[in-house]
Amino acid sequence: MLDFIRTKAHSWMIKFILGAIVIVFVFWGIGSFRSERLDVIAKVNGEKILVESYRQAYGQAVERYRQMFGGKIPEQLLEQMNIKKQVLNALIDDVLIRQHAEEIGIRVIDQEVQRFVMNIPAFKENGVFNRTRYERALTGARLTPPGFEESVRQQILREKLQTIMVAGLAVTDEEIRAHYAFENEEVNFSYLVIDAPGCREEVNATGEKLTAWYDSHKERYLTEPQIRLRYLLFSPDDYESSVNATDADVQAYYQSHPDEFKSDEQRRARHILLKLPQDANETKAAEVRNRADEVYKRLEQGEDFERLAREISEDKGSAPKGGDLGFFGRGDMVRPFEKTVFELKVGETSRPVRTQFGWHVIRLEDIREAAVKPLAEVREAIVKTVKARKAEKAARQKADEAYDEIIQLGSLEAFEESSGLKLQETGLFTRKKPPALLGTGREIIDTLFSLEAGELTSLLHIPQGFLVAEVSEEKEPYVPEFDQVRDKVRNEYIKAQAFEICRSKAREILEDVREESLDVVARRNGLQVRETGFFKRTDRNAGGKLPPEAARAAMSLHEGKIYPDDVVESGISFYILAFKAKNDADPEGMSKQSEAIADRLLAWKQRTVFADWLGHQREKATIEIKMRL
């Protein structure tokens, strides 16, 4: 069957079937289905969740985690995080939300989605939404506009439904007081650090021990599968010089994409800034606020704003220009500043406004209303977009023609001889370190590693264009001989043994500390007693003195429990902690924080209520899982 498909792959129908088979086999693995319907992964109250939807959501989730981990994420970690189940649960939640929204008449219109997308800064160029930039960004993230916009629609729908469901929730004064006391209590800890590398000298790494380690840990030294590709690349960049954008093209694009060229309302303002560090004490904060009040009074009495800005403002960028910030739109300034500017009338001066930078006095100079930009202003951007689309279409057409001819000729080599185009070749690479040419999407990498030597890919759409490739060489995983990895074995053995020696030593010291004191035991073992200094319990970094694991353990300590149950492991070090002292929250400061605390508590309550509602909907719903993950 597969041989027939390969030989007849120039047929468009066979190509379609082959593409579907590749997607199914690569994504799920042969034999993993437990359903007579291969296109449905689950049903929620009778509504289907398609395999394709799940596949896209899973790929996007994995890609997000890869970016969080700097491009690399161990497969074991993916399994531990149970990403597959997380993704399916999220899709089920989306269906439940959509079904309930339909029941009570909530919907999201296309204009709401368009406004949301067009206001995303990453898709703007010179403050204006740029469709080419939008499409390229989505391509780089392996998304399509319809798919991305549907996810935006679902997010807006979720927010609308959540807003209705949590209306009426409130926070009590007692809750605010308790939370304020917790957030503002300061604690201080003493601690010892024992580093595993310091125990390396105690490890006896004889030849017999190294050989035994190698024999019992051979899986650690197994190499990764590697492949090499021969390929043809059809890049839109190669065709851009051969296409043009006519006046008719430009006019047609301009008329059919009016939303792209809408400019949001812009406001021009001046300000006088008096800087204030975010961690300033109350005395300093009051002093700067009083100075800002004095500036406002002088302006109210008729003094010239521009002159005062040049003399007083501590914003070095705008002060020489009389405080002029030029035109800007919503989202360009920090929230308190923006809110004030968009509430002012032209010529009106604000009272002092506090932001993370300090105190501002602001005057609104001008308003530029929202409008559709004239064609002359956006012509250049449209020309670029039209040419880019035509170039991509030309590249795709050439790639399709080449692919059909390759199938007919039987090999890439035969096509190279026939066409005169030169095949290119990658070096050997692993799944974790693919060539930059292939981008960061895992689907293509997984597809390539599923092929056998000499097997041709389908036409692949990659960030640089369209790719036709074959695996020219495979290198299977193998365990190198001991002598080939002797140095690596030695280093890993010493590291592992030193770690265990260090752990035992740290636990012995902790037991001694319980019987004596931290200072006495530290002196006897040649260790330095360190101190975090006072910090708030909400500071997860413990004032920057402790790693997260140790900081979390420290938060469980108090006057009644001075020492933790065990030493804390973090990286290559072990921490022995001891509670030292605490300072209660200053009751005088609660009035200044109560509003922010109430907002945070309310947001937490809203999330909790919505999550509980979703859980209840799941219990009521008829949910059928059609495939094994």
Alpha-carbon distance of 459 to 232, in angstroms, equals: 10
Domains, the chain, with CATH or none: 2-168+620-625 (1.10.4030.10), 186-222+483-583 (3.10.50), 226-256+375-475 (3.10.50), 265-369 (3.10.50.40)
Q: Tell me which amino acid residue 260 is.
A: E
Residue whose token pair is 């100079």: 365
Alpha-carbon distance of 118 to 605, in angstroms, equals: 31
Helix (H) or strand (E) holding 267: strand 266-275
Q: Which of 605, 607, 598 is nearest to 178 (CA)?
A: 598
DSSP state of 14: H
Alpha-carbon distance of 176 to 136, in angstroms, equals: 47
CA 403, 407, 411, 416 torsion: positive or negative? negative
Alpha-carbon distance of 584 to 586, in angstroms, equals: 6
Alpha-carbon distance of 572 to 563, in angstroms, equals: 21
Alpha-carbon distance of 2 to 22, in angstroms, equals: 11
Long-range CB pairs of 409-415, under 8 A, 24+ apart, other chains included = 411/470, 412/230, 412/231, 412/232, 412/456, 412/468, 412/470, 415/232
Please say whether the beta carbons of 383 and 243 come within 8 A: no
- Burial (CB < 10 A; 0-12, 13-18, 19+), residue 346, is exposed
Report residue 47 CA to chain centroid gap: 30
Q: Tell me the sheet residues that pair with 324.
A: 270
Q: Tell me the sheet residues that pair with 579.
A: 189
Q: Tell me the sheet residues that pair with 231.
A: 424, 469
Q: Which of 417, 400, 412 is nearest to 453 (CA)?
A: 412
The pLDDT of residue 279 is 78
Write out pLDDT tens, residues 281-293.
888 888 999 999 9
Give the SS3 label for residue 410: coil
The pLDDT of residue 75 is 67
Here the tokens at position 446 are: 């997984």
- What are the φ and ψ backbone dihedral angles of 411, each rounded to 5 degrees? -165, 160
Please say whether the beta carbons of 227 and 234 come within 8 A: no
CA 64, 67, 71, 73 torsion: positive or negative? negative
Please say whether the beta carbons of 374 and 263 come within 8 A: no
Please say whether the beta carbons of 272 and 321 come within 8 A: no
Q: Which parts of the chain have pLDDT scores under 50?
A: 1-37
Alpha-carbon distance of 392 to 436, in angstroms, equals: 20
Please say whether the beta carbons of 161 and 583 come within 8 A: no
Q: Which of 81, 34, 76 is nearest to 629 (CA)?
A: 34
Identify how many contiguous H helices and E strands the chain contains and give both numbers. Answer: 21, 20
Give the SS3 label for residue 142: coil
**What is the edge-to-edge ordering of all strands in the sheet holding 324-328?**
324-328, 266-275, 358-368, 353-355
Here the tokens at position 524 are: 């006897």
398-415: buried (b, 16+ CB within 10 Å) or exposed (e) per residue? bbbebbbebbeeeebeeb
Which residues in 383-439 belong to E strands, given as ranges?
424-425
- Burial (CB < 10 A; 0-12, 13-18, 19+), residue 578, is buried
Residue whose token pair is 């409130």: 170
CA–CA distance from 533 to each of 22, 187, 190, 579 (Å)? Answer: 59, 8, 8, 11
Write out pLDDT tens, residues 134-160.
988 888 777 789 888 988 999 999 999
CA 184, 185, 191, 195 torsion: positive or negative? negative
- What are the φ and ψ backbone dihedral angles of 280, each rounded to 5 degrees? -65, 145
Does residue 542 come out as left (phi exceeding 0), alpha (psi in the -120 to 50 range) or beta? Answer: left
Residue whose token pair is 């990895």: 485
